[in-house]
Amino acid sequence: MTARSFPRGTILGYPRLGRKRELTKALEAHWAGRLTAGEFAATTAEIRAAIRERLVDIGLGRDDSSIPESFSLYDHVLDAAVTVGAIPSRFDGEIDAQTDEVDASFALARGRGDLAPLAMTKWFDTNYHYLVPEIGPHTHFRLSSNRLVRDVAEARAAGFVTRPTIVGPVTLLLLSTAESNATDGFQPFSRLADLVPVYARLLTELRDAGAEWVQLDEPALASDVVSVNASRVLAAVESTYRELGSTPERPQLFVSTAYGDVGGALATLAATPVDAIGLDLVRGTIPSRIDSGTRARLADKTLVAGVIDGRSVWRGDLEAALTAAADVRRLTSTVSVSSSTSLIHVPHDVTLETHLEPRLVSWLSFADQKVEQVGIVARGLARGSASVRSDLEAASIALSDRLGAPGVHDRSVRARISFLGEGDRSRVPWEQRREAQKRTFGLPPLPTTTIGSFPQTDRIRQARARYLGGFDSAETYVTVIKNEIAEVIALQEELGLDVLVHGEPERNDMVQYFAENLEGFDVTLHGWVQSFGSLCTRPPILWGDVSRLGPITVGWSRYAQSLTSKPVKGMLTGPVTILAWSFVRDDQPLGDTAAQLALALRDEIADLEAAGIGIIQIDEPALRELLPLRSVDHEHYLAWSVAAFRLATAGAKPETQIHTHLCSSHFGVVLDAIKKLDADVTSIESAHSRMRIIDDIAASGFEHDIGPGVYDIHSTRVPSVDEVTELLARAAEAIDVERLWVNPDCGLKTRGYEEATASLRNVLEAANRVRQRVAEQQAASPSAR
Ligand code: GLN
Ligand code: ZN
């Protein structure tokens, strides 16, 4: 059989949700028992079939391996783990060779009975969450799922030759964690030699099912924020792809790298027998910088030039994309065009956004439009740019229209930024603030608070839907929200919390709510992207200069404060998190956009103060998420992100207590930056990881107040008083109790009232116990204070 060449244009992966979120609905219906396993399987097969047909309609080939077979029921990392048999031993007896693989996947993703699910974490510097495989010294790697093989065969039966995609072995191990029963110091990476033969088997089976090309995703090669040193990673790449390359009767191998610069791994990959290598030319690799030794080795490879940005929603500069692809031709004669990453980070189709202004729509490109763009650039590369002249021009006209549109450059915003100095980013020293705040609030030791949201009930959601649908007046809606706030305040008083919140009932989402109330943003109706499993978000589009039309949260906070004599904490989303969870303009550095957001928040803080709100929290859960994948870029990122937070908060009076909240990441690497935020109080997720962060915080010399989470809100389980007491006691050992706050890991939005109330009750009881214990200890040794 002669080898088929790599398709001229392709994408690394396609959204799995379905245009109408069919996957989300099917998952929910299946979990709720409304769809049988058989019906669920049929529905998901229909989604896959519709995706393939759609991709042909918009320009990919039916039988040339250009359609990626990249569907996943829940998560592609989970799929890879299940495929190779990486099932944690706690599931022994629950999952075995007889278990249906869909069932097995859901057990790992969602837990079963008392068995905890796999942990979840962010996929590189994106807001997508993957499930972290757990691997131990005895994990029995074997080809234990035929899902991918079956998808390829299913496509084949419908007349397609698709290209199966799977996370590659090096990345799979780098993203995995050691199973909890493994000995100290065990690294999943040490199991590489046992894992690679399973991939070799898979390759053979995929070929037998009709695959001509297989895509192995190795995005971890673009990151050095991994736990294994670079030279070991390179050696692993070498041995893995030498071995897979020598699989007899194998399909052709395409190794994709993405999310940044592949760096030294390119030379290594080039020396192995893989047939095609993908480069992310949007975020990283610069062909002209590739050294001559690597060039020589690349000459007989296919290079897949990722020139269409898989992560942004902008239509972009197609001429520049074509030039970048043409540059790659200096390295090898066989060049194909692709998206820079999988398209799972963008919504399906911008033409569904019929409510948006046509002008804005003309600037945008979602997954389907990206596929078309790949086609244009691929044609231009094959036949010369003249052959696609009109398409390139249309893109360039849209781009200049965007850059020059009213609102993209707002003179008053820019003038204000240009007059800022260092003084605008610093408050008076913390010791002074601390004294002033002590006098103002007179809080007890170990003050108790929550992170902001209370359960978003059906009642709230329905009221919002009725209001947005035009069935209810604004007045009716406001009344519902106010009643909700009143109930939340009453509940917190009854529970005995010290610093109250209004509960955020008015927010559909902590980023979208601000986007809807700021200039420079638009929000989509159908622009869903998968966050994990069935959970989707609709990131707003930040296209212009940001400014505030007027107060955003002040009315709600003022109302809440009017109901209680305890302090009510104002609640804002920080600049970095707004950026991270939006689609952000690409015509200026992120730091510049962050500064504009910061100024809007700064004004909001001033208005909150004026309304009598003395404690204000600025949430930055995404601070870690945007950390660049290459450590050389960290300093610059941390400088602008910290500066934005400080710009937002430094106008606050000394007696105003600024809180921040961090969660959903491993913050170890950014502890120094957290210190520099200079917040008075920092709450941080820690119950979820059993207080692992606490010692790091203590060791980092962090001096301000800190609230390590003591209630894991990811779980429906109500933590017992003993359990919380123990966590608090752990925290009190590492951190001076004078600086310790008591709070849950995160907001209660996704919880139900019953469990949230019971949990908070136990948290407060535990706080009382620890307070008492501390008082007794102090009484016993008064000299210690
Ligand atoms: N204040 C937000 C809430 O409580 C914080 C959410 C978050 O950190 N993701 O919901
Ligand atoms: Zn949180």
Give me ligand 2 centre to Cα 745, in Å.
6
> How much of the chain exceeds pLDDT 90, in percent?
89
Amino acid 67 reads I
Give this prediction's pTM. 0.95
* Domains along the sequence of the chain with CATH: 9-404 (3.20.20.210), 430-773 (3.20.20.210)
Name the residue of 568, 746, 748 whose CB sits within 8 Å of the most ligand 1 atoms, as the mutation to test its pocket: 746
Q: What is the Cα–Cα distance from 702 to 735, expressed in whole angstroms? A: 9
Give me ligand 2 centre to Cα 237, in Å.
36
Cβ–Cβ under 8 Å, residues 608 and 535: no
| Residue 690 pLDDT class (50, 70, 90 cuts) | confident
Q: What is the Cα–Cα distance from 775 to 514, expressed in whole angstroms? A: 43
Q: Token pair 């608070």 is at which residue?
A: 449
| pLDDT, tens only, 308-344 | 999 999 999 999 999 999 999 999 989 999 999 999 9
Whether the predicted pLDDT of 287 surpasses 90? no
b/e code 408-438 from CB counts within 10 Å (16+ = b): bebeebeeeeeeeeeeebebeebeebbebbe
| Residue 782 pLDDT class (50, 70, 90 cuts) | low
Protein residue with its CA nearest to atom 10 in ligand 1: 747
Of 710, 232, 115, 698, nearest to 451 (Cα)?
A: 710
Q: With residue 308 as reference, give the H or E element that holds it.
A: strand 302-308
Please report which ligand is nearest the Cα atom of 455: 1
Mean pLDDT of 27-41: 96
Give me ligand 1 centre to Cα 90, in Å.
31
Q: Which of 193-197, 202-206, 546-550, 776-780 has the lowest mean pLDDT?
A: 776-780
Q: How far apart are the first and last CA of the chain?
A: 82
Whether the predicted pLDDT of 170 surpasses 60? yes
Name the residue of 456, 499, 568, 661 whose CB sits within 8 Å of the most ligand 1 atoms, as the mutation to test its pocket: 661
Helical pair 230-245 and 192-208, crossing angle rounded to 10 deg = 40
Protein residue with its CA nearest to atom 5 in ligand 1: 747
Greatest Cα-to-Cα distance within the chain, rounded to the nearest angstrom: 86
Protein residue with its CA nearest to atom 6 in ligand 1: 747
Residues contacting 385, CB < 8 A, separation 6+: 319, 322, 392
Residues having CB closer than 6 A to ligand 1 are 451-453, 504, 510, 571, 619, 621, 661, 663, 746-747, 749
Cβ–Cβ under 8 Å, residues 620 and 577: yes
What was the pLDDT predicted at 113?
85
Q: What is the Cα–Cα distance from 62 to 659, expressed in whole angstroms? A: 55
Of 649, 270, 244, nearest to 428 (Cα)?
A: 649
717 or 241, which is more confident?
A: 241
What was the pLDDT predicted at 765?
98
Q: What is the Cα–Cα distance from 469 to 705, expressed in whole angstroms? A: 44
Whether the predicted pLDDT of 161 surpasses 50? yes
Assign residue 115 a region: left if phi > 0, alpha if psi is -120 to 50, beta otherwise? beta
What was the pLDDT predicted at 785?
46
Q: What is the CA 581 to chain-centroid distance, rounded?
A: 8
Give me ligand 2 centre to Cα 600, in Å.
22
Q: What is the Cα–Cα distance from 495 to 757, expressed in whole angstroms? A: 8
Protein residue with its CA nearest to atom 3 in ligand 1: 747
Q: Token pair 């610059």 is at which residue?
A: 636
Give me ligand 2 centre to Cα 442, in Å.
26
Whether the predicted pLDDT of 1 surpasses 70? no
Residue 782 exposure: Cα atoms within 13 Å on the Cβ side: 1
Q: Which two tokens stand for residue 260?
A: 């940044």
Mean pLDDT of 243-267: 95
Of 224-228, 530-534, 598-602, highest mean pLDDT: 598-602
Which ligand 1 atom sits closest to the C-alpha of 452?
4
Protein residue with its CA nearest to atom 4 in ligand 1: 747
What was the pLDDT predicted at 744?
97
Cβ–Cβ under 8 Å, residues 747 and 452: yes
Q: What is the Cα–Cα distance from 261 to 266, expressed in whole angstroms? A: 9
Amino acid 139 reads T
Whether the predicted pLDDT of 783 surpasses 90? no
Name the residue of 122, 127, 453 whose CB sits within 8 Å of the most ligand 1 atoms, as the mutation to test its pocket: 453
**What value does the mean pLDDT of the chain take?**
95
Residues contacting 609, CB < 8 A, separation 6+: 616, 652, 653, 656
Q: With residue 670 as reference, give the H or E element that holds it.
A: none
Which ligand 1 atom sits closest to the C-alpha of 663?
8
Give me ligand 1 centre to Cα 639, in Å.
24
| pLDDT, tens only, 729-765 | 999 999 999 999 999 999 999 999 999 999 999 999 9
Protein residue with its CA nearest to atom 8 in ligand 1: 621
Q: What is the Cα–Cα distance from 297 to 675, expressed in whole angstroms? A: 47
DSSP β-bridge partners for residue 217: 167, 256
Of 325, 324, 328, 402, nearest to 365 (Cα)?
A: 402
DSSP 637-661: HHHHHHHHHHHHHTTS-TTSEEEEE
| DSSP-derived 3-state class of residue 13 | coil
Mean pLDDT of 11-35: 97
Assign residue 299 a region: left if phi > 0, alpha if psi is -120 to 50, beta otherwise? alpha
Q: Strand pairing of 252-256 and 213-217?
A: parallel
| pLDDT, tens only, 407-441 | 999 999 999 999 999 999 999 999 999 999 999 99
Q: What is the Cα–Cα distance from 631 to 728, expressed in whole angstroms? A: 34
Cβ–Cβ under 8 Å, residues 324 and 490: no
Name the residue of 449, 508, 510, 511 whose CB sits within 8 Å of the most ligand 1 atoms, as the mutation to test its pocket: 510
Mean pLDDT of 616-642: 95
Which ligand 1 atom sits closest to the C-alpha of 749?
10
Q: What is the Cα–Cα distance from 352 to 195, expressed in whole angstroms? A: 43
What was the pLDDT predicted at 369?
98
Please report which ligand is nearest the Cα atom of 709: 2
Q: What is the Cα–Cα distance from 712 to 630, expressed in whole angstroms? A: 31
Of 463, 500, 541, 447, nearest to 771 (Cα)?
A: 447
Which ligand 1 atom sits closest to the C-alpha of 617?
1
Whether the predicted pLDDT of 784 surpasses 60? no
Backbone phi and psi for residue 520, each to the nearest 5 degrees, phi listed first: 100, -10
Of 688, 598, 696, nearest to 648 (Cα)?
A: 598
Give me ligand 2 centre to Cα 625, in Å.
13
Whether the predicted pLDDT of 573 surpasses 60? yes
Whether the predicted pLDDT of 65 surpasses 80? yes
Q: Is 739 exposed, middle or buried (0-12, 13-18, 19+ CB in 10 A)?
A: middle
| pLDDT, tens only, 501-538 | 999 999 999 999 999 999 999 999 999 999 999 999 99
Whether the predicted pLDDT of 566 surpasses 80? yes
| DSSP-derived 3-state class of residue 208 | helix
Is 345 an annotated catalytic residue? no
DSSP β-bridge partners for residue 758: none
Q: What is the CA 29 to chain-centroid distance, rounded?
A: 25
User: Which one from 409, 634, 666, 714 is the annotated catalytic residue?
Assistant: 714
Of 576, 567, 712, 584, nearest to 641 (Cα)?
A: 576
Whether the predicted pLDDT of 617 surpasses 50? yes
Mean pLDDT of 450-467: 96
Residues contacting 66, CB < 8 A, separation 6+: 7, 8, 9, 10, 60, 163
Q: What is the Cα–Cα distance from 16 to 48, expressed in whole angstroms? A: 8
Give the CA distances from residue 18 to residues 218, 527, 600, in Å, rounded to whole numbers and listed in that order.
25, 11, 36
DSSP β-bridge partners for residue 682: 660, 706
Which ligand 1 atom sits closest to the C-alpha of 451?
4
Q: What is the Cα–Cα distance from 700 to 309, expressed in whole angstroms? A: 38
Give me ligand 1 centre to Cα 748, in Å.
8
Which ligand 1 atom sits closest to the C-alpha of 510?
2
Q: What is the Cα–Cα distance from 569 to 216, expressed in whole angstroms? A: 48
Please report which ligand is nearest the Cα atom of 454: 1
What was the pLDDT predicted at 2?
59
DSSP β-bridge partners for residue 709: 743
DSSP β-bridge partners for residue 159: none
Q: With residue 432 as reference, give the H or E element that holds it.
A: helix 430-441
